[in-house]
Amino acid sequence: MKMRVQYRYNPAILGVTPQVITRWVPIFGFWGGAVGVTALFFLEPIPRVRSVILQKIPFVGSYWVRPVDPNDVPF
């Protein structure tokens, strides 16, 4: 009985295999989410960020509603 070497194709691009990707995706997802939330809280004072993003969060969006006093309107 002769033994033969059996070759298998393992797809890789620059050394990155599907196994490496499945191991790193949750880690990058966690850190990406943390960076995104941190960026939102640093950008909170900008009125456009408040009106476009933060006020549209369900249940807590009303926290960022800041009505303008009629005496402060220039016209």
Residue 69: C-alpha distances to residues 2, 46, 47, 48, 50 (Å): 89, 18, 15, 18, 17
Evaluate whether 11 touches 17 at the Cβ level (below 8 Å): yes
- Alpha-carbon torsion angle 8, 12, 17, 21, nearest 10: -150
The DSSP symbol for 33 reads H
Is 25 or 4 the better-scoring residue by pLDDT?
25
Distance from C-alpha of 60 to C-alpha of 64, rounded to nearest angstrom: 8
pLDDT tens figures, 32-54: 999 999 999 899 999 899 999 99
pLDDT > 90? residue 71: no
